[in-house]
Amino acid sequence: MHRIVFIWFIIAIMTLVGCTSTTPEQRHPQKLEGPRCCQRVEATPRRAAIVRTAARLVGARTIDLNGRRIAYDCAGVTRAIYLEHGIDLYESAPSDDKANGVRLIYAHVRQHGTLHQGPVVHPGDLVFFDNTWDLNGDGLLNDPLTHVGVVERVESDGTIVFISRVADAIERYRMNLALPHVHQTADGRVLNDYIRRKRSTDPKEIGHLTGELFAFYGTRLDR
């Protein structure tokens, strides 16, 4: 019985993939301090519009914006959501001229907003993750900024619901920073979704849940 459960568990995790990226970096670009909890706030009209755009993309398997094909990865999806509202998250000046999409978005937020870990999280905020896959293939936990998504809402218990492309399509995922190591409660309510595919080469200390791999939020200050 334990063997069957274990096999099912591995199969479930193996269906997940991390967001594609191309540029490794040994250190996290920014260390932030702050409370790791989330409070709900009302969305401004522009934030609400951004969230509606993100919600319309749930389930989509290609992204086409006014005849412009957008990369179908987490960064491309996030960029497409904001492009619909006249904001190009790739317009930035990263220190690395070979920066991937997630790093371009990170650089953009550093220039036009703020990076934080709460406690207030707005609908339409960006959420960044580290180590969602072994970017440089060295088997170590040194892969910052490997995934990004758009916050849709904060639930009453502080669980963040965000929209991103993780596996085969754009979906909603959950993250609860108060209980980052808990996938779901006894009654089946999901608190943290799996965001990193489990591999035999993973370091023992690596997490695979959203709450375990969370880095920080990004808020644009002009919205």
Express each pLDDT in 96-112 by its tens digit: 666 789 999 999 999 99
> Which residues lie closer than 8 Å to 18 by C-beta, 6 or more apart?
132, 133, 146, 147, 166, 195, 196, 197
114 phi/psi in degrees, rounded to 5 = -140, 145
123: preceding bond cis by omega (within 30 degrees): no
pLDDT at residue 4 in the model: 39
Tokens of 58: 């749930």
pLDDT at residue 211 in the model: 96
pLDDT values of the chain reduced to their tens digit, one per residue, 223 residues? 444 333 333 334 333 445 644 443 334 445 444 445 788 788 899 999 999 999 999 998 888 777 667 788 999 999 999 999 999 999 876 666 667 899 999 999 999 999 999 999 999 999 999 998 877 767 777 789 999 999 999 999 999 999 999 878 899 999 999 999 999 999 999 999 999 988 887 888 889 999 999 999 999 876 5
Tokens of 14: 């193996």
pLDDT at residue 5 in the model: 37
Number of domains, the chain = 1
pLDDT at residue 109 in the model: 95
Containing structural domain, residue 75? 2-220
